[in-house]
A = this chain, B = another copy of it.
């Protein structure tokens, strides 16, 4: 069962019953009618992070960013995080403190308290973070309308380029922005709160453009056509060296933690970089308009269970 199929199974088998809930499974976070937004995200050693080039500080920073990015995707302001740690018995105190400094560096910036969690002994490192935020008007995946355009808050594929450069040993000085995006991504909370007035639907780009855009089209029951994918010079350089298509790469490269959103007319907001990359139409499915042809594309981003 793929992750998407499994989530579909769970969602259909256990529908929401409780009055308190506005939206359960099927978005970046669940939403309560009182405006509370809750999301949970897990990371495991060897799958999501590699201690060869990740310090414990990097790890804390990055996991917390990924978690808060789910609140950004809902246009929610963070309140607090609960952190569950799976730790090997021999873990050093200094490693745990470094990890928490990583968590806190990003929490502090977004005024997010660390308010709970638990710690268990485990054969491997694992981290599950539950974040809780609040929103006056949640930005759902289901709000895209025909006539909308599709936007991102930045270039995509940078974080995965950084990961490849670090793990495969390319020359670091040529890829400084990619490495920075991989090690120190930024949850787009401020951008999301400011864009909320214009945006109809949104998601964060954690699983790759094709998967994330596919979710928008599925939940909104619309057709989405990606027309113009901006390519960052560092991504272009890496894929020139690799002799591969940067477009295919960007469609499947995740973990940039940018916002992918739709809206009719997005006014320029100072300090927020936005690219218009496609459009929303009547119909269903995800398409790429490339070299004069319209090609149906399937989610090709990171799937957590193969």
Contact = CB atoms under 8 A, between A and B. Distances in A.
A218 B14 CA distance: 40
A82 to B, nearest CB: 5
A130 B38 contact: yes
A93 B96 CA distance: 35
A172 interface: no
A123 B47 CA distance: 9
Interface string A109-137: 00101111111111110101010101000
Contacts of A13: 100, 104
Interface stretch (A15-23, A161-169, A236-244): A15-23
Interface string A64-106: 0000000000000001101010110101010011001000100
Contacts of A113: 14, 16-18, 21, 24
Contacts of A6: 96, 119
A115 B121 CA distance: 27
A154 interface: no
Contact of A304 (B34, B79, B121): B121
A87 B122 contact: no
Chain A, interface size category, equals 35 or more
A273 interface: no
Interface string A9-51: 1100110111011001100011010101011111110111000
Output the residue of A7, A13, A40 with the most chain B CB within 10 A.
A40
A305 interface: yes
A306 interface: yes
B119 A46 contact: no
Given A36-B36, A128-B84, A46 B123 contact: yes
